Amino acid sequence: MTELTHATTAIPETEPTALGLDAGGWVAASMVVVILVLLWQKVPALVAGMLDKQIAAIREQLDSATKLRTEAEALKAEYAAKAKAMVKDAEAMMAHAETESKALIAQAEVDAKALIVRRTQMATDKIAAAERSAVADLRARAADATAAAARKLIIDGHSAAADKSLVTDAIATLN
């Protein structure tokens, strides 16, 4: 084994070359050629143009998004103002309804008092009418009783002769 190790160390290692360039040189040369072809075909300008188009599209989207955000904020502010106005309107309606209800209650109390006064007056008038009717009925009965008593007294106290003299005197006063 010792002979073999000497044999392998005795041969110098050299890399293959072609036209004086080794493998790394060829890679570098091919890269230079590819870059020159890319520059000759104006690939960087094409890539820059495509990137510019994408940048412009992104700017448009950002501008559109900014505009939409501004519109959304304006709508939000508008609806917030409308909501505040609706709250104020609702509070005003509640206050108005409360005022109206108090006025209706006050009017109902006044109407109830007036109704009580009217009904009391009507009851008083009915009682007074009933009293007058009772007094008139009592007077009529008293007059009937007086007339009946007078008739009885006249019938009992007068005779046909006394009636004749009374009739004669009455006729004489008429002439």
Residue 96 confidence (pLDDT) above 80: yes
Q: Average pLDDT, stretch 158-175?
A: 79
- pTM value > 0.95: no
Return the minimum-mean-pLDDT range out of 4-8, 80-84, 115-119, 155-159.
Answer: 4-8
What are residue 18's DSSP bridge partners?
21
Residue 1, token pair as written in the block: 């084994």
Alpha helices in the chain (DSSP H): 2-10, 23-40, 43-157, 160-174
DSSP-assigned beta bridge partners for residue 21: 18
Q: Is the pLDDT of residue 4 over 60?
A: no
Domains of the chain, residue spans: 14-174
* For residues 102-120, average pLDDT: 94
Distance CA 38, CA 36 (A): 5
User: Could you tell me if 22 and 15 are in contact, meaning their C-beta atoms sit under 8 angstroms apart?
Assistant: yes
Confidence tier at 144 by pLDDT (50, 70, 90):
confident
Give the per-residue pLDDT at 1.
Answer: 47
Quick check: 18 and 26 in contact, CB under 8 A? yes
Displacement of CA 79 from its chain's centroid (Å): 15
Instruction: Specify the pLDDT at position 16.
Output: 67
Q: Per residue in 44-72, pLDDT tens?
A: 777 888 898 999 999 999 999 999 999 99
pLDDT of 93 higher than 90: yes
- Identify the residue with better confidence: 14 or 113: 113
Average the pLDDT over each of 31-35, 105-109, 154-158 and give the range with the smallest value: 154-158
Q: Which residues contact 16 (CB under 8 A, 6 or more apart)?
A: 22, 23
